[in-house]
Amino acid sequence: MSTVPLLELRELSCRFGGLVALDRVSFAVQAGEIFGLIGPNGAGKTTLFNLISGVTAASSGELLWRGGRVGGLGPDRLNRLGIARTFQNLRLFDRLPVLDNVLVALQRRPASTPLAGLLGSARHRHGERERRERAWQLLAELGLTGLAERAAGTLAYGDRRRLELARALGTDPALLLLDEPAAGLHPAEKEALCDLIAGLRARHQLTVMVIEHHVPLLMRLCDRLAVLDFGQRIALDTPEVVRRDPRVIDAYLGGNGSPGTGAGEQR
C-alpha cells in the first residue's frame, strides 16, 4: 500500500436543511482495495457516493484525491481525475444503442475537436476507429457483444447492470464506485457479479468502492468494510472483524448474533 491513500474523507458532513445525512465521516481508501460500504436504508451510503463523485457538495469537511483537495469539483471534473460511478437506479441512455452508450464514455480519449469531426480529418477518423475498438472490447469483456445494436432501454435487467459497468469503465477510472450492483439480480447472477468485479479490479488496476445490501457477497468480495448508521461511521475494518462488532450487529445485521446469513433489507 502506498503512503498517500487514493481517496481520503476527513470529517465529511452533508446536511439537507435540518437533516444530517452524513455526520463527520472519515476514512481512507487505499489503491487497489475493494472497499465495501454497508448500513441500513437511509444511513447515508448513496449520499456518500454522491459526495465522492461530485454529484452533491459536502456541507463541511474535506475530500482528498491522491492527497489533493477536490471538494467542490463537479462530477465531470472528478471523473476526469479518475473517479467513475454507477447508479443504484441505473441511468443508462435508454434511447441510444448499447454501443453508443459506451462510446459516450470514450469521448475524451483520444480527444477530438468538433471542427476536426465535421471535416472528417484523418486524426478524427483514427480517433473514432480507436474509440469503436475500445467500445467493442469493453462490450466483449462484459458479455454484451451480441446486444451492441439494441437500444439500451430494451435490455434485460442484468444486462443493463453490466452495460452501466462497461460505460463507467470506458472513462478509464482509477476508482470505481458501485452503488448496489447486485440489486435486483438473482442468486446465480450475484455470484457471477462477484467474480466479475474481482476480475475487473485485476484487469483494469481498479480500486473499487461498493455499496451492497447482500452481506455474504460483500464479506467475500471486500478487503475492508465501513458501516454507516444514521450518517455516522460506526465501524471500519476487515469483514471478519466487522461481522463480530456488536454495534454493527445491533444496527444492521440484526441482534440475533448470526451475521453473514444475508440479513439486512433486500429489495
Tell me the closest approach of the beta carbon of residue 108 to another protein, in angstroms.
6
The pairing of strands 207-211 and 224-229 is unpaired
The nearer residue to another protein, 121 or 232, going by C-beta atoms, is: 121
Largest CA distance in the chain: 68
10 SS3 class: strand
Q: Does 107 bind another protein (CB under 8 A)?
A: yes
Measured between alpha carbons, how far is residue 136 from residues 95, 108, 149, 156, 263 in Å? 19, 17, 11, 19, 38
Q: Does 124 bind another protein (CB under 8 A)?
A: yes
ω before 246 within 30° of 0 (cis)? Answer: no
Rule CB under 8 A: choose which of 4, 20, 55, 70 binds another protein. Answer: 55
Q: Does 70 bind another protein (CB under 8 A)?
A: no
Alpha-helix residue ranges (DSSP H) falling in the chain: 45-52, 75-81, 98-105, 114-119, 122-141, 157-170, 187-204, 215-221, 239-242, 246-248
The nearer residue to another protein, 57 or 241, going by C-beta atoms, is: 57
* Span from 65-73, 83-91, 139-147, 228-236 in contact with another protein (CB under 8 A): 83-91
Alpha-helix residue ranges (DSSP H) falling in 88-183: 98-105, 114-119, 122-141, 157-170
The nearer residue to another protein, 100 or 189, going by C-beta atoms, is: 100
* Span from 36-44, 72-80, 178-186, 212-220 in contact with another protein (CB under 8 A): 72-80
In the window 169-228, what residues touch another protein (CB under 8 A)?
170-171
Q: Does 56 bind another protein (CB under 8 A)?
A: no
* Span from 34-42, 116-124, 138-146, 223-231 in contact with another protein (CB under 8 A): 116-124
The residues facing 16 across adjacent strands are 19
Note the residues at the interface with another protein (CB under 8 A): 53, 55, 74-76, 79-80, 84-85, 87, 91-96, 100-101, 103-105, 107-108, 112, 114, 117-118, 120, 124, 128, 131, 167-168, 170-171
